[in-house]
Amino acid sequence: MGYLNIVLVVATGLLMIIVAFAARKNINKQKILNRRFIEEEDAANAVRKKDIKPELFYEPDLTVLPPIPENDPHKVERSRKRTMIRFTEPITNLELKKQYGIAQMDVIAQYEENFNDYLKALTAWAGELIENDDLQNASIILEEAMNLGSEFRNTYKFAADIHVRKKDEIALQSLRFKVTANHFKDPAIRQHVVAYIDSKLSSEW
């Protein structure tokens, strides 16, 4: 075997050793992370039930909205009367269990769903107003929904449609900036809405 071949064999052997060591190290690291996660879950599941912080509860401010129509086809009135929780910062289920105990998880989930239903009702209401050419009131409703952190695509798409109909490119650009800066739970929502706005920017002006 020539000198060059010996060097290649040795180098290959060393590389295999390094790769094997790195793989073993990653496996051990993952095992540690998995064990820590399980330990944290077990600890969180053992937390006794605690009262939900009062500041998390949300009550709609109807003074910033147009009068709710009497027939209320989108159930804004009904949804706004339900108990709601609004999280202003991202929080994981593990963190919630640590703070309030596993016994509160179903309640918290229901209250958060009620909040999302309220935002969905606002968005649907604004959509109907747009169809009826009431762009001013629709804008007010959508602005409130966005300020509350709506994660519904139509909230932002309806707002974009209004800016297009008003031929307000500056407002549409501002909306695009707001969407790109939004930390949606599902990044696909951001991508979808930005693409929708970009399509309007490229075709309407």
Structure tokens at 17: 């050793």
Q: Domain for residue 203, yes or no? A: yes
Domain end (from 133, 159, 191): 133
- Let me know whether 111 and 65 are in one domain: yes
- Let me know whether 178 and 120 are in one domain: no
Q: What is the mean pLDDT of each run of 10 residues along the chain (205 residues)?
A: 58 69 67 64 76 95 93 93 93 91 94 97 97 97 96 97 95 95 88 95 73
How many domains does the structure of the chain reveal? 3
Cα–Cα dist 8/48, whole Å: 62
What pLDDT is attached to residue 160? 97
Cα–Cα dist 188/173, whole Å: 20
- Let me know whether 42 and 64 are in one domain: no
- Let me know whether 38 and 65 are in one domain: no
- Let me know whether 32 and 100 are in one domain: no
Contact between 76 and 121 (Cβ < 8 Å) = yes
- pTM: predicted TM-score of the whole model, two decimal places: 0.79
What pLDDT is attached to residue 31? 60
Cα–Cα dist 89/135, whole Å: 31
Nearest to 56 by CA among 95, 21, 14: 95
Q: What tens digit of pLDDT does each residue of 118-136 get? A: 999 999 999 999 999 999 9
Q: Domain for residue 144, yes or no? A: no
Q: What tens digit of pLDDT does each residue of 16-57 get? A: 777 766 667 667 666 666 666 566 766 667 788 999 999 999
Structure tokens at 64: 């910033």
Q: Domain for residue 141, yes or no? A: no
Amino acid, res. 43: A
- Let me know whether 164 and 87 are in one domain: no
- Let me know whether 120 and 57 are in one domain: yes
Cα–Cα dist 19/166, whole Å: 61
- Let me know whether 39 and 74 are in one domain: no
Give the residue numbers spanning the domain of 187. Answer: 151-205
- Let me know whether 123 and 69 are in one domain: yes
What pLDDT is attached to residue 202? 83
| Residue 186, phi-psi category: left (phi > 0), alpha (psi -120 to 50), beta (remainder) | beta
